[in-house]
Amino acid sequence: MVSPRARLSSQTVLLISYHFHPTNEIGGRRTTALARHLAARGLRVIVVSAFGHQDVRPGTEILPGIIAFPVKQPRRLLLDSLVSLKQGAAPSPKAAQRTAQKADATARSAGIMSRSKAFARRLFFRVVFFMDAHKKWAWRASRAATTVGRKYGALALVSSSPPKTVLLAGALAAKRLRIPHIADFRDPWTDAVSTDPQHRTEYLLQLPLEKWVVRSAACVTSAGAAVAHSLSSRYPAARQKIHVVRNGYDGEARPSLSRETGGRLAILFAGDLYLGRDPFPLLRSLEDLLQRPDVDRSRISLTLMSRVESYGNRSLADWLVGKACAPIVTLLPHLPPQAVAEEASRATVLVNLAQQQPYSVPAKTYEHLISGREMLLVCENDCETAQLVKGVRGVNQVDTRDPSALERTLFDLYRRHAVEGSMTVPTVEEVRKFSREAPNEQFWCLIEKLAGLGPDLPREANLSLTAS
């Protein structure tokens, strides 16, 4: 008699994800963990990915039970040349200043022509990068998935974005293979451009593509409830197949070996400054904190590392010139993971800048929960990230729309860390619910049901919107 595990080992699930092990990109952690979980369950997992552009041979068992079929990012000689031309066409600061100083009619006419050309260039590149810059890769990934899906007799296909075009690749390949498709929205799609008037055209063009993916999918998963509810509102007929399957931390939660701080407040932000990750409210509050007579600045440090040279068009180094906090603020470049881990081990507070991200929970949130350090979460009170960690000890959430809130929180951290010498960290029991094990099991239940591998999805595992 064939055991259930032996029966499953001959069953294949396809996974399309641009990022996957061995890449260090944070976007590959969700799919890599899922593939490992499915393989541990006895399934054969075929992964179509760029694999961080590593040299991976087709058909290699990249991890136990996981077979890799790489698709390389196509070279874009014409587009790269056009990008160079676009950058070369941009005037230097000195040239721009000289042009601005000319006030005669000829200069005004030239300015109009220049603005017209700039508008044409922006329009061209918005068309070229419509949706994302991976359209050609996604097309090739779809064809590769179709080929290996037929070869191995795949029973289901999971595609995980970003980039968005991966979802289109999954929908197309699943249609060709006539197997159920699980479309995994790690990030929002049209929600990201729906409220910006400058992106109205992109929104209207992308909406039918999102609609096709959602309606054709056997199941839609979202890493956040906000995106799931938004999709449900736009596509009410698909409501019952939309599920919330969150991210989580990998491995085991690490309890803090010591809650003593050594009489110092050492704050660390490790990440890139983009989207709404504005560091200036933190810097201004730190500057205000140092003006207090009861604060010893020699006990305080703030380190920002990775791509932190500027936010928007403002240089952090320029802002620090002449400031009281300049001697205690360190800006470090992008460094290997080991160097980041060493900095985190020296810190007493880890900063998560999550402003203006209403549709997603930064992966850093889960990493910080198991770091054994206290956390400073900067985001709006009503956003999903704030609601997710509400009530967890050791998480200090601040909304910068309250100007004095961040300064009060910094002073409280200073009092406890630098004066009293101790910090508050979440317990292992508190953070266990944020493990990635539970989301992986949810994926397993969905695949098991859709691919006919076992009994129907248990009620308690169903995270459709009716239950979330």
Q: Are residues 178 and 101 in the same domain?
A: no
Residue 456 banded pLDDT, cuts 50, 70, 90 = very low
Number of structural domains the chain divides into: 3
Interval 273-290 mean pLDDT = 93
Render pLDDT for 339-361 as a digit per residue (tens, 0 to 9).
999 999 999 999 999 998 888 89
Q: Are residues 81 and 53 in the same domain?
A: no
For residue 260, being part of any structural domain is answered with no
User: How far out from the chain centre does Cα 231 lie?
Assistant: 19
For residue 181, being part of any structural domain is answered with yes
Q: Are residues 213 and 194 in the same domain?
A: yes
Q: Are residues 107 and 144 in the same domain?
A: no
For residue 254, being part of any structural domain is answered with no
Indicate the range of 46-50, 334-338, 345-349 predicted with least confidence. Answer: 334-338
Of the candidates 386, 425, 431, the residue with the CA atom closest to the CA atom of residue 405: 386
Could you tell me if residue 275 is left (phi over 0), alpha (psi between -120 and 50 degrees) or otherwise beta? left
Q: CA 422, CA 323: separation in Å to the nearest integer? A: 28
CATH of the domain at 412: 3.40.50.2000
For residue 466, being part of any structural domain is answered with no
CA atoms 66, 69, 70, 71: torsion sign: negative
For residue 410, being part of any structural domain is answered with yes
The reply to whether omega before 22 is within 30° of 0 (cis) is yes
Of 95, 128, 161, which one is at a domain's C-terminal end? 128
SS (H, E, C) the chain: CCCHHHHHHCCEEEEEECCCCCCCCHHHHHHHHHHHHHHHCCCEEEEEECHHHCCCCCCEEEECCEEEEECCCCCCHHHHHHHHHHHHHCCCHHHHHHHHHCCCHHHHHHHHHHHHHHHHHHHHHHHHCCCCCCHHHHHHHHHHHHHHHHHHCEEEEEEEECCCHHHHHHHHHHHHHCCCEEEEECCCCCHHHHCCHHHHHHHHHHHHHHHHHHHHCCEEEECCHHHHHHHHHHCHHHHHHEEECCCCECCCCCCCCCCECCCCEEEEEECCCCCCCCCHHHHHHHHHHCCCCCCCHHHEEEEEECCCCEECCEEHHHHHCCCCCHHHEEEECCCCHHHHHHHHHHCCEEEEECCCCCCCCCHHHHHHHCCCCEEEEECCCCCHHHHHCCCCCCEEEECCCCCCHHHHHHHHHHHHHHHCCECCCCCHHHHHHHECHHHHHHHHHHHHHHCCCCCCCCHHHCCECCCC
* More reliable by pLDDT, 248 or 459: 248
For residue 253, being part of any structural domain is answered with no
Q: Are residues 25 and 164 in the same domain?
A: yes
Residue 34 banded pLDDT, cuts 50, 70, 90 = very high
Render pLDDT for 146-162 as a digit per residue (tens, 0 to 9).
999 999 999 999 999 99
If one counts every other C-beta atom within 10 angstroms of the C-beta of residue 319, the result is: 19
Q: Are residues 102 and 238 in the same domain?
A: no
Q: CA 55, CA 182: separation in Å to the nearest integer? A: 28
If one counts every other C-beta atom within 10 angstroms of the C-beta of residue 208, the result is: 10
Q: Name residue, tokens 């009410």.
A: 236
Q: Are residues 405 and 441 in the same domain?
A: no
Q: Are residues 34 and 157 in the same domain?
A: yes
Render pLDDT for 53-105 as a digit per residue (tens, 0 to 9).
999 999 999 999 999 999 998 875 444 444 444 444 444 444 444 444 444 54
Q: What is the reported pLDDT for 256?
A: 61
pTM above the 0.75 mark?
A: yes
Q: Name residue, tokens 């200069």.
A: 107
Q: What is the reported pLDDT for 337?
A: 85
Residue 9 banded pLDDT, cuts 50, 70, 90 = low
Query: Is the pLDDT assigned to residue 317 strictly greater than 90?
Result: yes
For residue 242, being part of any structural domain is answered with yes
Q: What is the reported pLDDT for 76?
A: 58
Q: Are residues 220 and 190 in the same domain?
A: yes
Render pLDDT for 261-275 as a digit per residue (tens, 0 to 9).
999 999 999 999 987
Average pLDDT score over the chain: 85
Q: Name residue, tokens 């039970």.
A: 65
Residue 25 banded pLDDT, cuts 50, 70, 90 = confident
Q: Name residue, tokens 């906090």.
A: 325
Give the torsion through C-alpha atoms of 15, 441, 369, 357, to 10 deg: 50
Q: What is the reported pLDDT for 110?
A: 53
Interval 179-189 mean pLDDT = 94
Query: Is the pLDDT assigned to residue 108 strictly greater than 60?
Result: no
Of the candidates 156, 188, 372, the residue with the CA atom closest to the CA atom of residue 275: 188
Q: Are residues 141 and 221 in the same domain?
A: yes
Of 90, 109, 128, which one is at a domain's C-terminal end? 128
Q: Is 142 in contact with 169 (CB distance < 8 Å)?
A: yes
Q: What is the reported pLDDT for 113?
A: 55
Render pLDDT for 220-232 as a digit per residue (tens, 0 to 9).
999 999 999 999 9
Q: What is the reported pLDDT for 377?
A: 97
User: How far out from the chain centre does Cα 199 lie?
Assistant: 21
Q: Are residues 233 and 270 in the same domain?
A: no
Task: Kindly state the tokens that stand for 102.
Answer: 């000319």
| Separation in Å, CA 463 to CA 21, 112, 251 | 27, 55, 23
Q: CA 214, CA 235: separation in Å to the nearest integer? A: 8
Q: Are residues 36 and 117 in the same domain?
A: no
Residue 114 banded pLDDT, cuts 50, 70, 90 = low
Q: What is the reported pLDDT for 178?
A: 97
Q: Which domain holds residue 197?
A: 4-73+134-247+437-461
Residue 200 banded pLDDT, cuts 50, 70, 90 = confident
For residue 256, being part of any structural domain is answered with no
